[in-house]
Structure 1
Amino acid sequence: MSYAFVFPGQGVQEVGMGRDFYDKFTVSREMFLRADEALGFPLSRLIFEGPEEELTKTEYAQPAILTVSIAAFEALRTKSNDLHPSFVAGHSLGEYTALVAAGALKLEDGVKLVNIRGKLMQQAVPLGVGAMAAIIGLDKETVEALCRLVSDNDCLCEPANYNSLQQIVVSGHLRAVERVIELAKERGAKRAVMLKVSAPFHSSLMRPVAEGLAKAFEMCEWRRPKWPVVANVNAKPLEEVKEIQEALLLQSYNPVLWSQSVEFMRGAGVDAFLEIGPGSVLTGLIKKTVKDAKVFSLDSPDKLDGALDFIGGAQVE
């Protein structure tokens, strides 16, 4: 059997995250310092000291999570140079982290890209116009049908994240999202709640983001990744730079096929998923999608030995 590395997306940020890696590992500290220098502002201080409302802003949360995740990944590499995942993947922003981990992008280019991405996503739709909601307990066919029912030429709601078999996030105009919440509750959803986000991410309203990102891509140095990267937009493994770039552009205004990506990796022989970075959101989503999957979350230095044992066991099996 084999294993995969997965990296979290926006929403897991919290003040103080990654400080233990910074304090204990020189290589992790270097990741924070390199990110600060690349961005031209003290991201590390914002991560460690806050304020929380500033760290939560999309343009800062994205490079912050990427930096902390790579700091944890580099600490893992100090423990073992023998890392051979079958695939790497990440949820939304986490796909950029996966590309940095796989050597397709330098850390400096990664943090600059997601900082720009965050700004573009916020600028695409005025505050208060868009919204997102999580629908839990309805299958994807039902949620997709509800989105079609409430959408017209002037007002839309679309699936944005297929997080697990029973958790789908929808995104679009505020009025349409509110209507989907009402209808989902009528259809028997366990929960249907508005998310605390500032824009309708991964909906077609985000299409202008792709144009800005395409220009930003030209300023970066790209390489073929060491390991196949399973793309959010099609749940397929990509290794060619041009394909990866196209998938990232499409990802900005299309849904994140996370559960489909997990199912693909499981079907390709992946038995164990190691989540690297703050929190353990993906660990929970993976277990809800593939119940027999082995999962482990590396979010602090005291879990490093456990992470190595985890992937070692996956290789032995």
Structure 2
Amino acid sequence: MTRTAVLICPGRGTYNKPELGYLHRHHADKASLFAGFDAARVAQGQEEVTALDGATRFSVAKYSRGDIASPLIYASALADAQSLADDIEVVAVTGNSMGWYIALAAAGALSPQHGFDLVNTMGSLMQQHLIGGQLVYPFTGDDWRPDPARKAALLALVDQINARAGHVLALSIDLGGMLVLAGDEPGLAAFEEAVPQIDGRFPMRLANHAGFHTALQAPVAAEGRKHLNGAMPRQPAVPLVDGRGAIWQPGSTDLMALWDYTLGHQVVEPYDFTRAVQVAAQEFAPDLFIVTGPGTTLGGAVAQSLVHQDWRGMADKAAFKARQSEAPLLISMGDAAQRDLATRAPS
């Protein structure tokens, strides 16, 4: 019996110390895929992806860099997407932030090598420019129930800070029960001073992250368009849901418009991951939501996005947990306990 699934690809911040060796542990059979990625890196004078993954020591300062993290996450996620069990039918693909680039390849709108070139180029450009920064702050409580008033108040604060002279602050990603904000140092610092600390963790700065999905990244978007070939995209094999909730259908996708979105709006405007998940749920009604590795941090945002639309009667965290314990609806391939639920048996 076929299981339908929406495939979800993660963004930056998902390849951390526990993920070191991910390619070697899970994808030793994909040497030919990784060889092309390694060759592209060597041609740019960069360290091979397999060498980075095979290192014996993890350093946050190194592995959080855009030119290091991005290709590692891409290789891990795409290899996972190619390892799904034979009874799983992917009915749509989406992703979070940089995960949109991975989604393009996972859905067939880019070849694996072209997808790598896109990710490696943009990750390197982001690191070279490193304009602005990001922080994360929750707007829901521990029960995950939506709190529109709290969200609106926080976004109003963001607008107030952004209106101050010498301050830049904007919504970067709508991420389930979290707001990812981006701006310059005065803007980020002003927000940190204005809001209460939560659990001793938030607001949380994200290491080596630039002001993604804001106008700060316009120079990076322009450089990306210069460096990358607009002829790379092709018709997707399965529908793609982008960071606005728009759906790109096989056979009828305007490839120029897809490329313009990918190196335009997607880079300089807010990314609504919550809406992407909710549209995928409503339009494709899958049996499963499968988040590729590396890491497991995106699973919470997916679950919260579903709770916030009362998906299948799940109105809070307890309802989601109860549903998940009966029969997993959400599978994180980066979670060793869940991985076997989505992958094919080794040959």
The alignment's TM-score, normalised by the length of structure 2, stands at 0.78
CA distance in structure 2 between the partners assigned to 1:287 and 1:143 by the alignment? 22
User: What is the match of residue 174 of structure 2?
Assistant: 162
Give the 3-state SS of the residue equivalent to 1:31 in structure 2: helix
CA positional deviation for 1:303: 5.1
Contact 2:214 2:269 in 1 (8 A): yes
In the TM superposition, structure 1's runs of 4+ consecutive aligned residues that sit over 3 Å from their partners are: 123-126, 186-191, 300-305
Give the 3-state SS of the residue equivalent to 1:252 in structure 2: helix
1:137 corresponds, among 131, 136, 139, to 139
- What's the C-alpha RMSD, in Å, of the aligned pairs? 2.7
Judge which range, 299-308 or 172-181, deviates more: 299-308
Could you say which structure has the higher helix fraction?
1
Give the 3-state SS of the residue equivalent to 1:99 in structure 2: helix
Say whether residues 1:66 and 2:74 are aligned partners.
yes
Contact 2:64 2:208 in 1 (8 A): no
Equivalent residue letter for 1:12: T
CA positional deviation for 1:189: 11
Equivalent residue letter for 1:43: V
CA distance in structure 2 between the partners assigned to 1:147 and 1:64 by the alignment? 32
Render the CA deviation track for 1:21-72: whole Å, top value 9, x for unaligned.
233xx2x222222210222242210122055333321012111100111122
CA positional deviation for 1:145: 0.6
2:105 corresponds, among 100, 103, 109, to 100
User: What is the match of residue 48 of structure 1?
Assistant: 54
Render the CA deviation track for 1:189-225: whole Å, top value 9, x for unaligned.
9932322234222221111111122223326522111
Question: Cα 1:190–1:122, aligned 2, differ >3 Å: closer, same or farther?
Answer: closer
Question: Cα 1:43–1:219, aligned 2, differ >3 Å: closer, same or farther?
Answer: farther
User: What is the match of residue 245 of structure 1?
Assistant: 259
CA distance in structure 2 between the partners assigned to 1:222 and 1:103 by the alignment? 9
Question: Cα 1:220–1:47, aligned 2, differ >3 Å: closer, same or farther?
Answer: farther
Give the % identical residues.
23
CA positional deviation for 1:157: 0.1
User: What is the match of residue 145 of structure 2?
Assistant: none
Question: Number of matched residues?
Answer: 298
Query: Which runs of 5 or more residues in structure 2 are unaligned?
Result: 141-149, 308-313, 315-319, 321-328
User: What is the match of residue 281 of structure 1?
Assistant: 297
Query: Which runs of 5 or more residues in structure 1 are unaligned?
Result: 310-317
2:274 corresponds, among 249, 259, 262, to 259
CA distance in structure 1 between the partners assigned to 2:108 and 2:300 by the alignment? 27
CA distance in structure 2 between the partners assigned to 1:134 and 1:54 by the alignment? 21
The alignment's TM-score, normalised by the length of structure 1, stands at 0.85
CA positional deviation for 1:183: 2.0
User: What is the match of residue 144 of structure 2?
Assistant: none
